[in-house]
Each structure stands twice: as C-alpha cells, then as structure tokens.
Structure 1
Amino acid sequence: MHRIIKVKKSLILLILPFVFFGQDNDKQNSYYDWFDKVLGKEHTGLYNGKQYVDLDVNRIYENKNAFFLSDKVMLGSVTYDGQTYYNIGMKYNLEKDMLLVALKSATTASTIQLISDKIEEFVIEDFRFKRVVGSFEEGDLINGFYQVLVENSSYSLLKKHKKNRRKIIQAGKLVSYKFVSDNSYILFVNQGFKKITTKADIINIYPIHKKEIKEFYEAYKRLRKSDPDQFMQRLFRRVINSSSL
C-alpha cells in the first residue's frame, strides 16, 4: 500500500509543473481525484482506520440523529496522515466526535472510522473543520474537531459542534434515542484558547471595543436567536476585525 501511495505522489509531482501552471484550486482537485480513481481509493491511506457499524440506526427518534447536517453520506475532502483526499463520501458523528468515510471497491462498500489523531482537517458540504489540541487558561484540555468560523492573522473563531444522547422511554421500556445539540464557541488568540459563552467574555478579551460590542448585541438580537453562527461571524468581522489585544 505504501509503495502505491509513493507512486501516486511521484506521478503527481512529475505532472504538476506542467498541468497546474495557471490552474485554480478546483482544477488541481480534479487532477488529484483523477489519480485516486486510476489507482483505486481502496489502495489509499484512508483504509488506515477501523470498520464502523451504526448500532443506533433503527432506534433514532424523529430523525434526531448524532450526525452533522445529515446521517446520509455527503461529499467532502480530508487531510489524513499527511495526504489530502478529495470528493470523499463522509459523515461526521457529533456524539463521538469522529469522522467516517464511505469507500467503495469493485466488490465491496465499507464505512471506515478514521483515526482522529491522523486527521489535520476536513471539509464537508463547504463547512471546514480542523483538529484542535491544547488547553484553556483554566487548565481544561481541548482535543477534537472545531468548525472554523472566522480566521485571520490575529485570531481564529471556532465552533464546537456536539450532540448528547437522550433516552426515549415509554411504558417503562427504552424505545429509542434522540440526540440534542450542545454547541459552543472558543477563540484562539495570542497563542491561547479562550471560552466564548457570553457577551462579557468577548468584552473581557477586547475591552477597547466594549461600546461597539454592546451596541452590536443590541442591534442584532433577532439574528443572535435565529442564526447564532452568523451573529458571531458578523460581530468579529465588523467589530473585532483583525484587532490585536
């Protein structure tokens, strides 16, 4: 398998200077995908994981499953063990914080649970996630995948998607499960991680923008309730922008 991967990389390196000159990223991605098809994804490093079986598939209450966006396979890309794979079928389990890829060969179809420590980042339906390892100032450890909401040279605003399991019990018997969202935001700034839970948290980090932050919260109350992600993105892009502490 390693020999095949090396051959793939060597072929790409030989051809890249000629075919990639003046091409955009989408064109490059199509060439990488073409090589994967020629060599067969069953021969790539994505099989360096373990078989996944969904034991909850027939016990989900009102389609409130554990996955990001959908429990159906969606196309995306993943940087895994130092190599990026494009147009991969995948699902992201938010209860267990694990990425699953759907791979097909000529004879079989498999769902593989990738090894989290080997994942650098992935994109699913245009949502970008990266693996974060570190700790908060209070000492709590961070180790998992976070969606990148805003990123520049001064800070990264990140969102942790999480779903918790709830039991549905009827007539004294466990009938099914539903999964409830429990999301949160963090900020990576000045080489450290900070929790973003309230307006006061943001003001404490950026006291120079105290007035503007309060005014923004007042002006965009409805947006904060209807679309908290967009609210946070607008707040940081318009008010905080690329400010340093």
Structure 2
Amino acid sequence: MKNYQKKSTLLVLFGLFLSIYSIHSQTTNDITTYNWFDKTIGRKNLDIVNGIPHTNPYRTVGGNHLYYIDQYELGNLTYEGQSYYNVKLKYDIYRDILVLNPFGESENIGVNIITAKVEFFSIKDKNFVNIDKKDPTVPEFTPGYYEENKITPDFIFYIKHHKDQQKVVTEGMLFYTFKENTSFYLNLKNKIYPIKNKNNIIKLFPEQKKQINGFYLMNRELKKSDENQFMRNLIKYINNSLSVQTK
C-alpha cells in the first residue's frame, strides 16, 4: 500500500513538473519575443517587421497545432506592393495570421504581419491571396487569406484553410486540440460559388455529370486521405474536360 501511495505521489509530482516546464517554456518564449520586439522596433527596419509580436498561448497534446505547417518555411511575400523572397513564414490558420521569422533571429521570434498590407504569399509551392471584400451573395466567403489555384482568369479555385478549436481537460489541466475545417469555393467569371459536396459541382457543370461521377469513383482513396488535393485535381480535370469539349 505504501509503495502504491509512493508511486502515485511521484506521478503527481512528475505531472506538476511537466505542467510547470510547459508553462515556463511558453512564458520564456513570449518574453524572448517581446524583448526582441522592444530592441528592434526603434530601429529602421524592413516594413514587413512592423507588426506585433506573435505568441501562441494554446497548450496542445498529441501533436496538435494551429498552423498550416507547424514550422517556418521559406516563402515569398508581396507587402504594400513590394516583393520579398525567401523569407521565413508560418501561417496560423486558426486565427488567420501570417507570421514572419525575421532574418537572423531565433525561430522562437515571430512577428504578425499586418494583414491589410499583404497582397500575396506562397508557402510550400502553394499560393495564397488576401481577399479583402465581402460577397453579399455568399456570406461565408469572408475576407482573409485563401489558397488560390488559378486555372484561367475566369476559372479560379479557392481553398479556405481553417482549424476549429476544442478544449480538453486532462487530469485537471486544460489543453487544446485543433481540427482542420476546410472550405472550398469556385470563382467562375467573377462570381463566387461555395463547393460543399459533389451535387454543388454537378449543378455548376451538368454536362460534366458523367465525368465528375467517374472522377469521384476513381479517386475515392485520395479523397479520404487528402481532400484538398482531391479537389485541386477535380477542378483541373473539369477545366480540361471543358477545354476538350469547346475545341
């Protein structure tokens, strides 16, 4: 009985240590960020560094994270008409924030780039545009960053990357999990259409019904494993089919 109580006590103490270490690490990173920000903001610097410090207050479990990719990646950025190449970027898709890791700084340092001044950025061969106008006919198509797949000027496929947050209490401690919740839109001749299911697509392209059904049948595994890539491929396939028909 004493051994059991001793083991239980050790487990509780170990849990408290992990909690304190996690909170301390998070706090230390935040302090590092703000110290760097205070040191740098008074100096003349690149315009893209003039945002606020980026912090992540969410303690997660099981490899969960709130980013498109949970690390900085080299990408390109157009900010106030000026292009920047090979800058370290990370995209917070829960809060729809683009984060910059300033050149030469630790990756614990991040700056939230001012969204209103961003026109375009790219990460991992994916292009994102900042859409700043609402569409009253499609209220869910809200302003923000969208992955853009431009097939032709009149045929553009958008993916809205987002994650939903859920709180989890484990052994009296609060954690967060983030689950991807992606939305798809098609811009046909400057009119936005939400794509929620196969029927939405067939309604837009009724003459392609047979081909669309066949594509779904032949690509079931891809749809399960990577719906985003499935949709990218589907839209390209439809456009190619339309091009063949018009020749």
TM-score, reference length from structure 1: 0.73
Aligned to 2:211: 212
Aligned to 1:149: 149
Q: Which amino acid aligns with 1:204?
A: K
> CA RMSD of the aligned region, Å?
2.6
Q: After TM superposition, list the pairs within 5 Å mapping 1:49-128 onto structure 2.
A: 49-56=51-58, 59-70=59-70, 72-104=71-103, 110-128=109-127
Larger Rg: 2
1:47 and 2:49 matched? yes
Report how far residue 227 of structure 1 moved.
2.2
Change (3 A) 1:46 1:206: same
Q: Which amino acid aligns with 2:210?
A: K
Report how far residue 81 of structure 1 moved.
1.3
In 1, Cα distance between equivalents of 2:241 and 2:83:
29
Contact 1:128 1:148 survives alignment (8 Å): yes
In 1, Cα distance between equivalents of 2:147 and 2:231:
13
In 2, Cα distance between equivalents of 1:242 and 1:85:
37
In 2, Cα distance between equivalents of 1:106 and 1:169:
35
Aligned to 2:31: none
Contact 2:87 2:103 survives alignment (8 Å): no
Q: Which amino acid aligns with 2:238?
A: V
In 1, Cα distance between equivalents of 2:68 and 2:60:
15
Change (3 A) 1:54 1:234: closer
SS for the counterpart of 1:75 is strand
Report how far residue 42 of structure 1 moved.
6.2
SS for the counterpart of 1:88 is strand
SS for the counterpart of 1:64 is coil
Structure 1 residues without counterparts, runs of 5 or longer: 1-40
Aligned to 2:166: 166
1:234 and 2:236 matched? no
TM-score, reference length from structure 2: 0.73
In 2, Cα distance between equivalents of 1:100 and 1:62:
23
Same amino acid, percent of matched pairs: 27
1:135 and 2:138 matched? no
In 2, Cα distance between equivalents of 1:53 and 1:229:
28
Contact 1:167 1:174 survives alignment (8 Å): no
Report how far residue 76 of structure 1 moved.
0.9
Number of residues of Structure 1 aligned to a counterpart in Structure 2: 200
Q: Which amino acid aligns with 2:158?
A: L
Report how far residue 154 of structure 1 moved.
2.7
Runs of 4+ residues deviating >6 angstroms: none
Change (3 A) 1:63 1:45: same
Contact 1:88 1:101 survives alignment (8 Å): yes
Contact 1:42 1:103 survives alignment (8 Å): no
SS for the counterpart of 2:74 is strand
Contact 1:104 1:110 survives alignment (8 Å): no
Q: Which amino acid aligns with 1:162?
A: H
Greater share of strand residues, 1 or 2? 1
In 1, Cα distance between equivalents of 2:134 and 2:241:
23
Report how far residue 148 of structure 1 moved.
2.0
In 2, Cα distance between equivalents of 1:106 and 1:163:
28
Change (3 A) 1:175 1:127: same
In 2, Cα distance between equivalents of 1:64 and 1:47:
28
In 2, Cα distance between equivalents of 1:169 and 1:234:
40
Aligned to 2:187: 188
Structure 2 residues without counterparts, runs of 5 or longer: 1-42
